[in-house]
Structure 1
Amino acid sequence: MTDQGTENLNLPHWPQFDDKERAGVLRALEQGQWWRITGSEVDAFEEEFGEYHGASHTLAVTNGTHALELALEVLGVGPGTEVIVPAFTFISSSQAAQRLGAVAVPVDVEPETYCIDVVAAEAAVTDRTRAIMPVHMAGHLADMDALSKLSTATGVPLVQDAAHAHGARWKGKRVGELGSIAAFSFQNGKLMTAGEGGAVLFPDAALYEQAFLRHSCGRPREDRSYLHRTSGSNFRLNEFSAAVLRAQLSRLDAQIDTREQRWPLLAGLLAEIPGVTPQGRDARVDRNPYYMAMFRIPGLREQERNQLVDELVARGVPAFAAFRAIYRCDAFWERAAPMETIDDIARRCPNTEEIFRDSIWLHHRTLLGTEEQMHRVAEILAEVVARR
Structure 2
Amino acid sequence: MNSVSRQHPIFPAWPQFDDEERGALARALEQGQWWRMGGGEVDSFDREFAAYHGAGNSLAVTNGTHALELALQVLGVGPGTEVIVPAFTFISSSQAAQRLGAVAVPVDVDPDTYCIDVDAAEAAITPRTRAIMPVHMAGHFADMDRLAKLSAASGVPLIQDAAHAHGARWAGKRVGELDSIAAFSFQNGKLMTAGEGGAVIFPEGEKYDELYEKAFLRHSCGRPRTDRRYLHGTSGSNFRMNEFTAAVLRAQLGRLDSQIDTRELRAPLLASLLAEIPGVVPQGRDARVERNPHYMAMFRIPGIDEHRRNEIVDALIERGIPAFAAFRAIYRSEGFWETAAPDLTVDELARRCPNTEAIYSDCIWLHHRTLLGTEQQMHEIATIVGDTLAAV
TM above 0.5, yes or no, is yes
Please identify runs of 4+ aligned residues in structure 1 that moved more than 6 A: none
Which residue of structure 2 aligns with residue 230 of structure 1?
Answer: 234
Match of 2:345 among 333, 341, 346: 341
Matched positions, count: 383
Residues 187-245 of structure 1: CA deviation (Å, up to 9, x unaligned): 00000000000000112210000000000000001111101000000000000000000
- Among 367, 371, 374, which residue is 2:371 paired with? 367
Counterpart check, 1:218 vs 2:222: yes
1:87 matched residue in structure 2: 87
Task: Read off the aligned partner of 2:93 and give its amino acid letter.
Answer: S
* Unmatched 5+ stretches in structure 1: 1-5
| Counterpart AA for 2:33 | Q
Distance 1:312 1:223 in 2: 55
Instruction: Map 1:42-191 onto structure 2 (within 5 A).
Output: 42-191=42-191
Helix, strand or coil at the partner of 1:44: helix
* Alignment match, 1:248: 252
Distance 2:337 2:180 in 1: 29
Aligned partners of 1:51, 1:182: CA distance in 2, in Å?
Answer: 14
SS at match of 2:366: strand
SS at match of 1:59: strand
SS at match of 1:293: strand
Deviation at 1:9, TM superposition (A): 0.8
Question: TM-score with structure 2 length normalisation?
Answer: 0.97
Shift of 1:8: 2.4
- Counterpart of 1:360 in 2: which secondary structure? strand
- Letter aligned with residue 47 of structure 1: R
Report the Cα offset of residue 380 of structure 1.
Answer: 0.4
What RMSD over aligned residues (CA atoms) do the two structures have, in Å?
A: 0.8
Output one character per residue of 1:76-103: Cα deviation in whole Å (capped at 9) or x when no partner: 0000000000000000000000000000
Residue 3 of structure 1 is matched in structure 2 by: none
After superposition, what is the alpha-carbon deviation per residue over 1:55-76, rounded to whole angstroms, capped at 9, x for unaligned?
A: 0011000000000000000000
How far has the Cα of 1:7 moved from its partner?
8.0
Query: Aligned partners of 1:138 and 1:27: how far apart in 2?
Result: 33
Which one of the candidate residues 281, 297, 317 is aligned to 1:293?
Answer: 297
Question: TM-score of the superposition, structure 1-length normalised?
Answer: 0.98
Residue 36 of structure 1 aligns with an amino acid whose one-letter code is: R
- Specify the SS of the correspondent of 1:256: helix
Residues 336-358 of structure 1, C-alpha deviations (whole Å, 9 max, x = no match): 01000001100100000000000
Letter in 2 for 1:253: D
After TM superposition, list the pairs within 5 Å mapping 1:271-282 onto structure 2.
Answer: 271-282=275-286
Structure 1: how far apart are the matches of 2:143 and 2:23?
40
2:52 is the alignment partner of 1:30: no
CA distance in 2, matches of 1:343, 1:119: 21
